[in-house]
Structure 1
Amino acid sequence: MSVLDPAATAIRLFDAERNLHFFPIRHHSPACALHLREALRVIRPSAVLIEGPVDFEPLITELLAPGVVPPVAMVALPDAAEKGRGGTTYYPICRHSPEFVAIQQATELGATVRFIDLPSRHPAMLSDRRDRQDQPLLPMRETMFDRGAYVEAMCARTGFRDGLALWDGLFEARARGTDWRGFFASVGAYCSALRAASDPDELEADGTLPREAMMRSCIQEAIAARSGPIAIITGGFHTPALIDAHTDASRPAGAAARSNAWLVRYDFRALDRLNGYGAGLPLPGFYERVWQRLIGTDDAQSTLTEDILVGFRAHLIEKEPALTFSFPTLQSMVETARRLAELRGLSEPGRTELFDALQSSAIKQEIEVGAHPLLAAFTTYLQGDRLGDLPPGSRLPPLIERTGSEARSLGLSLDDAIPKTRELDIYRKPRHGQTSRFLYAMRLVAPPFAERVKGPDRVYGFRADMLMETWTYAWSPAVEAALIERAGDGETVRDVAAALLIRRLEDLEQEGQRNNAEAAFNLLSIAFDAGIGSAAETLIAAVSEAVGADTQLLRLTNALVIGQALNSRARAMPSDAAIKAFADLLPALLDRLARRIAELLPDLAAVNADNVGGAIACLAALAEAMADPDPPFPTQPLRDALQGLMSAQLDPQLTGAVIALAALVSLIDEAEAGQRLSAALAGAFERPGDAIRTLSGVMALAPQLFVNDSSVITAIDDLFGAVDDQGFLDLLPQLRMAFAELSPQETDKVAAIVAAAHGASEDDLALLQRVPDARVLADHLMLSERLRSQWQADGLAAWLEPAP
């Protein structure tokens, strides 16, 4: 007998002598689910064994509770001992999942239901079953159905374009048949061939063999305890390894079940093979419609093809009118799909026929497969957007219930998994401010829930004048799993967020960063955004400690900018308890921070050219903070320290920056700043490079000092006049960097002053504006110098003299 002979396979699957009935399935297959339901009604088993993690068994009764609306998922969370070993494990269930139908039917028949796979957190189950790290971790994977030598050979023989279309044509098309024995015999023969073509080393590496050892052990236990027929429902790929009797029925090491499992809502987007889900079939919304037709739950008078295509056209009219096609095109699609099904020997059009009909009838131009927006819209439509539901009182941590309740009270929709956009007027509408703080807190606790698209930079003040924030958000299985994972930290989002921030403070200490004032202030800013007033006192005490211990001026000055922005936001936003908790504690903290910076500013006198960039950044941050006309910190200690720096011997670039800062904070006026700068430039006349570096320091903080003082421009012009062409070429890179800080208008102003000093006319300036960029100019000057040297060598020096 051939292993591919369905009759031979049927004998092995349905063993009357042992009263064992093996059902090879594909996860989430409507055809498998319907035939399995009929088979169980006939066999009336006393026990139903299902491929599923044994630690999920306590959730079986919850799956059948009134009010549970699939899709849902059983999830297992890593405990503390498993830190770093994979992520949350998902076992999704939809209405057309054979496993779910088996549980329903077995319960109706009074049979015992058992899961027989390894525990979800067993190492063999955590071998990475994902193509990308952002995909869910699943205890099942069915890529062997879609690719490989056997699948390719079958597609070539039958004319199906890929493994998914092959499965649909061979098996989903037989869903309405009544011969369940023949159906499963064919599935078993197909899966036996897939198994025979598999690499044994891969089966060992991906955890398949220890999982099957666990299943055999559970089957043997059921046989020993049975009182009637036993139905064994597993992925078809495993079935050939389970049918025959084995003596190695001992459980693998570590197979004891530990229950850290929960039932959560799931959605069709996460269930879609096209989004990276490793089992089942693509476009679950389509197969949900197929299932409803198979079990007769819809009363539509039209065919499934008509129902889908008419519904899609109505969807386009409402959502994407630019893509809407005409009614005659709709008729053509329906007819094309029907004829394609006939041509391919199918009882009715399937998923592939619908796409082919759409493409041939509604798209006239040449396209890359899947690239046309109409095909993309149809894919999304057939994917579906259903989000499952659980009844009130389900066994969920209070954190999930309270989070959902708070989100709804703020007007956030959690009814489906479709991403939504929310505009928030954060300063003028108190409820919008509350919503913003909730979303920031959720970014900490369950990051998949929300993303801020635009709004003011509330740490460093970029676009601080914006009054609106824009967020996108969507409730998803990943959000519920994240909330379950954090449930031990508290019963509200803000309690959990506070615990996480305190933990981050502890992480800073472990990383040797407890004295990092900037990092500590960033945590404080996050807490403020999220409205975590309960953490204010603890965080501010930790930040104050960091300020006292930090010796790096750049971190301290950056922290001052963050603290100043915090204070501004606290004054601008409608006050509530959380904001007041921070507002009351910030002044003393900022006072200490400013005095600490003033204490360390004299250290800049020791900075050399190698480290001057960080020192300039410190002064720039200080300039930003002190630009506030009413700063929330004492400025006199800072002004005193800056006055001391002005009389110190500093690196030339730092000298320019100190002069600029002193002018910006009105310690000196612009006239005195120009005099000091001119003097500094004159002092560096014998070292032109130092002069340019001094100018660069000014430009980094206050380029207007250079632009507005003609004496400074004259000093620079005199400097350039004193160097030869090669000296100018050497200075050019530094000069370009210095002048890069100027705006086009400021550059024009400087050019006009220099031109006037040299008697150039407006026509001369216009000509100069067409001069090539500095690199090209440098190349031309070097060429001129080579020509000069060559002419002199050739005795043509007289040519270089200007005409009389």
Structure 2
Amino acid sequence: MGDTMVTGTYNTFADCDDLTTGLDMEDIQRERLNGDTDSNLDTDTLHSHTISRAELESIFAQHVFDMHNPVLYVPIRHHSPGCSHHLLQMIARYEPEIILIEGPEAGDALIPVLSDPNTVTPVSLYYTYEQGEERAAFYFPLLDYSPEYVAIGEAARLGIPAKFIDLNYRRRSVAQDESEAERSTAEPSTSYQDEHLLTGSSFMQALCHKLNCRSFDELWDRWFESGAADVDTFQYMQDVFVYCTLSRLCYTSSQLEQDETLSRERHMLHHIQAAQAQYNKVLLLTGGFHTYGLIQHKSNNHATLSVSVDDSTSANGSKTKRTPELREQIYPMVYTFQEADRLNGYASGMPYVAYYDQLWQNMQNGINHPASQTAIVTLSRLAKELRSEQEAVSTSDAIEAYSLFQGLAILRGRQEGGVYELLDSVTSCFIKGERTLVSDRPLDQLRILLTGDRIGEVAKNPFTVPIVEDFKRQAAACKLQLGTTGKHKKVLDLHTRPRHRQISRLLHMMEFLGTGLAVRQSGPDWISYTNINLMRETWTYSYSSYTEARLIEHSIHGGTLAIAATRRAEQEVAALSQHNSGATAEWLLRVLLMGLEQTATKLVEQTRQALRHDGSFLSLCRALTMLERIHEHRRLLGLREHDHALPELLQEAYHQAVAAIDTLQQVHPDDHSQIVQALKQLYMLSQAESGTFPPEPLYDRLSELLDQLKLVPALEGVSVAILSRSGYLPEHEMTERARAYMQGTPEQVKHTAAYLQGVFAAARDAFLYEPALLKSLNQLLSQLSHDDFVQMIPELRLAFTFFTSTEMQMIASQVASLYSISTAELEQPALDEALLQHTSALDQAIRKEMERWIL
């Protein structure tokens, strides 16, 4: 900036001395105030909102930047390399005895961890609280070029204390005024560094419009990042203070109070006053939005100490309801460039993190024109990446893009181009022809490069969360790649490689805990029992701070993944009905997939108790299904071969399910198909060569079921089929009952298809080798009216889904023989509907013409 920047910036307002006048700030503010719904506005609000630029510059010189003052204010924007560069200059000139930083005061104990040389950014402080049903989590991200991180590092280098001075997140929530607490509020921001008041002010919006900037971020990059190293520190900081203050003046005091801005500033002022009492030189680092407010609070002496009151006693001494216990935790954790990017993450600062990181490194290394050098490196990498993807990008394209990058900077009145000039130059020079999803690949790849994929590392510290360390140990043993962001792929051979089974259990556990680490792309699904023929599992995984945050949340359940997953599973099972044996057995399978053998041992007994109390036939059959899968794949699931608990449980589930057949006299229509399949499953188990499941109890229950007067047709069909196949009923019983339906009352005819569904489920060969049954069905269909036939079609189609394609060919041959035609004629495609309509219209036209000729 310097003289050049001042000219480039302030000339925007032509010959206006006052910034606010140049942008019609009085009109902007009147409109803002007129729209305010709060009737208790301060009488001097409008006057304070029309403060001149000259007045702000005077305040800056006297109260903000005076090196002789006991407190030196440093207004910054979070994650701004330009602000960090000039912060270093101010620290060197002022030589403070302590540095106060806008940040959660609970994080003070973590400052030594952040300043440790072994800590590599990006990192974050992660704060959580729980109180009764209320809970929330927040992030405080830090990058190499974050002013807060730079200040912490400089304090450590100089051997002076650094201290966070802002309210903790929980205390900020409690600090809401009564009227706000009565309203339903939205979820708190997940980022401590939310800048919505600064970026969304009417002043900044008007300025963006006047200067043709696409966003506040482009406006900031144009003024405060590119060329920042060449600007005088006083002038740079004055500009930051002026524009942040003008944004602040767009809000009324009631709006700032409601947003907790004022309560935070009053709290910070207490820390400032305490530091002044102990130190002669205090450097105060806060967002530029707060600087003017802190000066106002100090001059008006508005700060009031908060009083802690035991809420169990009211003002008159009577006992009131005690507030639930507050549990707070704050940890240092890894973070990623992708999450720190404001376009992807938690609204924590500026976008295009990797770009600004490179810009910061160039500024630190004293490179002339650091933004231009950053652009050169980025364009070179982009061209290389695109050529590796067979994109038609040449070296001349990259040269032309850099030339345009410089030209746009000159056209926009800047010393150097910035990230938005880089985006525009790539759009113009790398995209050939019209912009489409395909041709936009250069821009997509550029954004990936500008964002970066780095992941941080936290130095060893006493605040390490045991469950996170346990995961990292297991991940290292499984050789998972946690050092970079982006998706990684893992293909696991479950049947032949024990190490792969170990990895599968870890990923299943992380998936169960909701950590967002891994997603199973393909492979056997043991719960739904699909793709069981596949021998391999394919997972994609990506490590991020989200994963670490979820693990920290689960730390309340235990210090290892196994313990946390066990307790979570126990909670889920405890929430089940005591009679739901199917769900309990399913959880037994889930915990085995996670490798939680001890939990599985407990669940075996819980499943046994649930079987004995469960009266639902479908639930018992579901439990039987799960237990059978576990027994069939017991080696893969890590069960011991000599353990007899599971076979005994499986037999008990079979006998309980068979006994529950007596409850099928009255069933819901939606359950018919499930019950048919469950009875078929019991029949197949009873036919197993092992003899583990005796068939006689099943046959007895089904015989009793058939004696019921109003038995559901589908259940009648499957029962008759099972008993006929087992010799308990004669073979012709299925056919005779089918004829009874086909030749019975109109109501019985409607249930023919449902009966056949039951028959085909357990004995579809009866239809293949009993010509009489086929003839009877053909006769029935030929006698049905059109409406009855249409009504029966869906049920019939469902019944014939039990047949394979080969069996359908056999049925087609039998039908063809009934009509003395070839099978090929049956396979002729039906007439096209459009053709039918055309011929029908033609027929009508011919008829009319013949009538006209009296033919």
Alignment partner, residue 214 of structure 2: 161
The Cα shift of 1:41 comes to 1.4
Between stretches 578-587 and 408-417, larger displacement belongs to 578-587
What corresponds to 1:61 in structure 2? 112
Match of 1:231 in 2: 283
1:330 maps to what in 2? 398
Gaps of 5+ in 2: 1-17, 19-50, 181-185, 311-325, 845-855
1:655 aligns with 2:713: no
Q: Residue 601 of structure 1: CA displacement?
A: 0.9
| Pair 634,357 (structure 1): closer, same or farther in 2 beyond 3 Å | farther
Partner-residue secondary structure (3-state), 2:665: helix
The answer to whether structure 1 residue 35 and structure 2 residue 117 are counterparts is: no
Residue 240 of structure 1 aligns with an amino acid whose one-letter code is Y
Q: CA RMSD in A?
A: 3.8
State the 1:432 CA deviation: 0.7
2:330 aligns to what?
A: 261
Aligned partner of residue 176 in structure 1, secondary structure = helix
Distance 1:177 1:394, change over 3 A: farther
Residue correspondence of structure 1 range 584-733 to structure 2 within 5 A: 584-607=644-667, 612-613=672-673, 615-616=675-676, 618-619=678-679, 622=682, 636-649=696-709, 650-661=711-722, 671=731, 674-675=734-735, 677-681=737-741, 684=744, 686=746, 687-699=748-760, 703=764, 705-732=766-793
Task: Determine the C-alpha separation between the residues in 1 that align with 2:642 and 2:71.
Answer: 68
Q: Which amino acid aligns with 2:340?
A: L
Alignment correspondent of 1:478: 546
Which residue pairs with 2:617 in the alignment? 553
Partner in structure 2 of residue 10 of structure 1:
60
CA distance in structure 2 between the aligned counterparts of 1:294 and 1:634, rounded to whole angstroms:
82
- Deviations along 1:594-626, one digit per CA (max 9) or x if unpaired, are 111011112213337576455335435546766
Q: Distance in 2 between matches of 1:255 and 1:110?
A: 38
After TM superposition, the structure 1 = structure 2 runs for residues 266-345 of structure 1, keeping only pairs within 5 Å, are: 266-296=335-365, 303-317=373-387, 320-323=388-391, 325-345=393-413
Secondary structure in structure 2 of the residue aligned to 1:85:
strand
Deviates more, 1:606-615 or 1:35-44: 606-615
**Could you tell me how far apart the structure 1 residues matched to 2:465 and 2:482 are?**
18
**2:74–2:284 CA contact under 8 A, matched in 1:** yes
Matches within 5 A, 1:192-211: 192-198=245-251, 203-211=256-264
Change (3 A) 1:54 1:620: farther
How far does residue 266 in structure 1 lie from its aligned partner after superposition?
A: 0.9
Residues 135, 276 of structure 1: 8 Å contact kept:
no
Kept in 1: contact 2:208–2:215 (CA 8 A)? yes
Specify whether residues 581 and 33 from structure 1 end up closer, same or farther in structure 2 by C-alpha distance, changes over 3 A only. Answer: farther
Q: Choose 267-276 or 437-446, whichever is displaced more.
A: 437-446
Q: Where in structure 1 are there 5+ consecutive unaligned residues?
A: 788-804
Q: Secondary structure at the match of 2:531?
A: coil
The answer as to whether partners of 1:639 and 1:667 remain within 8 angstroms in 2 is no
Mark the CA change 1:287 to 1:765 in structure 2 (over 3 Å): closer, same or farther: same
Q: Kindly provide the CA deviation profile for residues 128-181 of structure 1, in whole angstroms up to 9, marking residues without a partner as x.
A: 9xxxx9998112211344445322321232232221110000111242035222
Question: Which is further off, 600-609 or 548-557?
Answer: 600-609
Offset of residue 699 of structure 1: 4.8
Matches of residues 167-182 of structure 1 in structure 2 within 5 Å?
167-182=220-235
Q: Is 1:137 the equivalent of 2:190?
A: yes
Partners of 2:368 and 2:696 lie apart in 1 by 81
Distance across 2 between alignment mates of 1:667 and 1:193:
93
What does 1:432-511 align with in structure 2 at a 5 Å threshold? 432-445=500-513, 447-508=515-576
3-state SS of the aligned residue for 2:639? helix
| Counterpart for residue 41 of structure 2 | none
Q: Is the 8 A contact 1:73 1:263 kept in 2?
A: yes
Give, in whole Å, the separation in 2 of the partners of 1:643 and 1:398.
60
Distance 1:134 1:710 in 2: 69
Kept after mapping to 1: 8 A contact 2:336/2:453: yes
Q: Which stretch shifts more, 703-712 or 685-694?
A: 703-712
Pair 407,628 (structure 1): closer, same or farther in 2 beyond 3 Å: farther
Cα–Cα, structure 1 residues 580 and 214, in superposed 2: closer, same or farther, change >3 Å?
farther
- Mapped to 2, the partners of 1:350 and 1:473 lie a distance apart of 34
Of 221, 231, 248, the match for 2:302: 248
Letter of the 1:107 partner, please give it.
A
Output the CA distance in 1 between the equivalents of 2:573 and 2:385: 50
Contact 1:72 1:93 in 2 (8 A): yes
Map of 1:793 onto structure 2? none
Equivalents in 1 of 2:675, 2:254: separation in Å? Answer: 59
Does the 8 Å contact 2:333/2:545 carry over to 1? yes
1:667 Cα offset (Å): 6.3
The answer as to 2:474 corresponding to 1:421 is no
* Segment drifting more, 187-196 vs 111-120: 111-120
Question: Quick one: distance in 2 between partners of 1:101 and 1:4?
Answer: 30
Shift of 1:292: 0.4
Tell me the TM-score normalised to structure 1 length. Answer: 0.86
In structure 1, C-alpha distance between the alignment counterparts of 2:690 and 2:260, rounded to whole Å:
65
Q: Distance in 2 between matches of 1:149 and 1:71?
A: 32
Query: Relative to structure 1, is the Cα distance of residues 251 and 542 closer, same or farther in structure 2, using a 3 angstrom cutoff?
Result: farther
520-529 vs 100-109, greater mean Cα deviation = 100-109
Partner SS for 2:524 = coil
Paired residues of 2:201 and 2:248 also in contact (CA < 8 A): no
Give me the whole-angstrom Cα distance separating, in 2, the residues matched to 1:627 and 1:423.
37
- C-alpha distance in 1, partners of 2:260/2:762? 61
Residues 496-552 of structure 1 deviation map (CA, whole Å, 9 limit, x = unaligned): 2222212222232xxxx2321122112111110011112122111111111111111
| CA distance 1:451–1:719, shift in 2 (3 Å) | same
Task: For residue 583 of structure 1, report the CA deviation from its aligned partner.
Answer: 5.6
Distance (whole Å) between structure 1 residues aligned to residue 500 and residue 252 of structure 2 = 57
- Are the equivalent residues in 2 in contact too, given 1:594–1:638 (CA < 8 A)? no
Which moved further from structure 2: 139-148 or 26-35? 139-148
Deviation, 1:476, is 1.4
Q: Against the structure 1 CA distance between its residues 259 and 555, is the aligned structure 2 distance closer, same or farther, given a 3 Å change threshold?
A: closer
Distance 1:727 1:558, change over 3 A: same
The 5 Å alignment of 1:115-154 reads 115-122=164-171, 124=173, 137-154=190-207
The residue identity in structure 2 corresponding to 1:465 is N
| Percent of aligned positions that are identical | 27
Q: Is the 8 A contact 1:262 1:395 kept in 2?
A: yes
